[in-house]
Amino acid sequence: MKSMKKTMLKQAVLLLLAILMLTTTSCNQRVQERPNEYNLDKTTEVVTSKTFQRSSSEAIKIVQDFVKESGLRSSLVATDAIVDYVLNTGSLRTTLGEQGVEAVDTVLYIVNIQGEKGFSVIAGDKRLPDILITSSSGNLFKNEEIDDNSGFAVFLSRLPSFYVSELERFEKDPNRRREDFEHEKEFEPDAPAPNVPERKIEYSEWKTVNSIGPLVPVQWEQSLPFNNEAPLIDGQRALAGCVSIAAAQLTAYHNYPSYYNGISLDWNLLTRYPSYWQYQGTDRSKFEEQVSKYLREIGNTLQNSWGVSATGAWTKDIVLMLKSMGYSNPSSLTDYEEGALINSLAHLRPAIMEGYSEKYTYKKGWWIFKKTHTGYREGHAWLVDGYITQERTRKVINRETNETISENRETRLLVHCNWGWGGYRDGYFYPGVFESYNSVNLRSTGVNESTPGYFKYMIKNIVNVYK
C-alpha cells in the first residue's frame, strides 16, 4: 500500500500541473558505438545552492550551451530569448511543506527564440533533468491551445506524472547530492559541526559524445496533398491518419518498397525534399499523385476508420503490413523501454511510437465464461528517429586544499520526435517522460482520465524495423 505521504505528494503536485498543462486535442486512433574523443578539462564552479529553484538566467544559459554544443542551430544571444514562466501556487507549497517536501516557485521555464526560431522547455526544479524539450522551429506559449499536433500532446500530457515520479525518486534516493543543496544539513543546527571540509562543486561543460539522426528525411502530414485520395465525407477529404503517416514516413527512410498494391514509388522523388512546399512544377504534381495514392493504399491495408477531423487505425497492424511489404524484421508492438529504443536507433532503425488517452473495459466470451478485457482508444502514433547523448563530469572539491573528494560522470539523453505534422514542433525530448511506469491517475485532481490529449496509458513502440 502506498504511504499517505506519497499519495498526498502525488495529489498536490498533480493538482498544480493539471491546471497548468496546456489544453490538448488528440488524433483519434483505435487503439513502439563508440563515443567521440572529447575534452572535459574546462570546468565551471557551481556555488552551493540554497534552494531547488533554477533561475531564469540559468534556464537561458542551459539553452545557450546546448545550442552551442549540439550545433542544431546558430548560436543564441540571451537578448533573443523570451522567457515564460509556469508558476507554483501557495496551496501546493503549503501541502508539500506539510509533507517535508520543498516546493519551487517556478515549475517550468519556456524559452522562446524570437522570430519563430525555436523553443525549449526547461525544468525550474533542479531535482528534474534540466532540458525537457528543445525544438529548432516555432514558439510555444503556455496559454495556447495545442491543436492538430497530438504527438506533441502525448509528451505534454505526461509531464505531471513524470514530475511526481522524479520528486519521489529524489526523496527516496539515499545517495542524493546533499552537497548541491546547502539547506539540507547533515546535522542539527545547534549541534557541533562535524569535521567535514567545506566543499565546492565543479561541472565540466556538456560535450556531445554520440548523435544519431534525425534519420527520417521527410516531414509529411495528414492534410493536403497527402489526403488527396482519401474518401470524401460530406464534401471534405478525410485525414490521412496519424498511423498511416507514421508508417509511410518509416518506409520513406528505408526507400522501400518500390511497388505497393500496383503503385510505383519513386523514392528519389518522394524523399528529395523534407517538405512538400519545396517541390515545384511537374515534380510537385508527381509527388502529390504518388504520395496520396500510397497513403490511401496504406490506409486501406490498415483498415482506417476515416474521418475529416480524425482518422483512426490500429498501430499493431503496421507490423503485418510491413511484413507484407517485404520487411524481414518489423518487431511486434511492445511496451516502451528506453534501452530497446536507443538500441534500435543506434542501429539506424527509426521506431514507431503510440500513446493513448482513454481506457475502457469490455466482456468477451460466451455466457458465464465471458471474461473482462481492457481496451484503449483516443491515441496518436509518431516516429522517434534520432538521439543526442552528452556527458559532463562533476567534481566535489575541498575548498581549503583544492583536492578532489569525489568525481563522477553525468549523462544527458534526448530523443528526436517526428510528430507527423509537417515538421511542426519536431525536436528533441527527454525520453524518461515516456516511461510507462510514470502513469498516474488524475481523477482526484478533477481532470477526467478520458479527456482528449491526456495520454496516460500504454506508451508502446515498434523497434528494429529493417528490410
C-alpha cell, 414? 534526448
Q: Is 439 left (phi over 0), alpha (psi -120 to 50) or beta?
A: beta
CA torsion 148→152→155→156, rounded to 10°? Answer: -70
Contacts of 172 (CB under 8 A, 6+ apart): none
pTM to 2 decimals? Answer: 0.82
pLDDT at 177: 58
pLDDT at 291: 99
Nearest alpha carbon to residue 455 among 158, 163, 18 = 158
Q: Exposed, middle or buried by CB within 10 Å (0-12, 13-18, 19+), for 164?
A: buried
Q: Identity (one letter) of the amino acid at 288?
A: E
DSSP, collapsed to helix, strand or coil, labels residue 6 as: helix
Angle at 440 between CA 180 and CA 55, to 5 degrees: 30
For residue 287, give Cα distances in angstroms to 101, 216, 219, 284. Answer: 57, 17, 13, 5
Tally helices (H) and strands (E) across the chain: 9, 17
Tell me whether strands 334-335 and 457-462 are parallel, antiparallel or unpaired. Answer: antiparallel
Handedness of CA 236, 239, 240, 244 (dihedral sign): negative
Tell me: the pLDDT tens digits for 403-428? Answer: 999 999 999 999 999 999 999 899 99
- Please give the DSSP secondary-structure letter assigned to residue 365: S
C-alpha cell, 148? 492538430
How is 137-184 classified by DSSP, letter by letter?
SB---TTS-B-S-HHHHHHHHHHHHHHHHHHHHHHH-TT--GGGBTTS
Given a contact cutoff of 8 angstroms between Cβ atoms, the answer to whether 429 and 448 are in contact is no
Bond preceding residue 225 cis, omega within 30 of 0: yes
Given a contact cutoff of 8 angstroms between Cβ atoms, the answer to whether 151 and 419 are in contact is yes
Find the length of the chain.
467
Contacts of 100 (CB under 8 A, 6+ apart): 5
Tell me: the pLDDT tens digits for 297-321? Answer: 999 999 999 999 999 999 999 999 9
For residue 257, give Cα distances in angstroms to 61, 242, 266, 319, 467. Answer: 46, 20, 10, 15, 9
pLDDT at 168: 77
Q: What tens-digit pLDDT sequence spans the chain (467 residues)?
A: 444 444 444 444 444 444 444 333 335 433 333 233 333 344 554 544 557 899 999 999 999 999 989 887 766 776 788 899 888 766 656 666 666 777 788 889 999 998 888 999 999 999 999 999 999 888 998 877 765 446 787 788 788 778 877 887 887 776 665 556 543 344 344 545 555 558 888 999 999 999 999 999 999 999 999 999 999 999 999 999 999 999 999 999 999 999 999 999 999 999 999 999 999 999 999 999 999 999 999 999 999 999 999 999 999 999 999 999 999 888 899 999 999 999 999 999 999 999 865 444 444 545 444 455 554 455 789 999 999 999 999 999 998 889 999 999 999 999 999 999 999 899 999 999 988 454 443 332 333 444 443 344 568 999 999 99
Bridge partners of 375, per DSSP, are 360
Given a contact cutoff of 8 angstroms between Cβ atoms, the answer to whether 374 and 360 are in contact is yes
pLDDT at 146: 67
Q: How far apart are the first and last CA of the chain?
A: 47
C-alpha cell, 83? 522567457
Domains and CATH numbers, the chain: 232-379 (3.90.70.50)
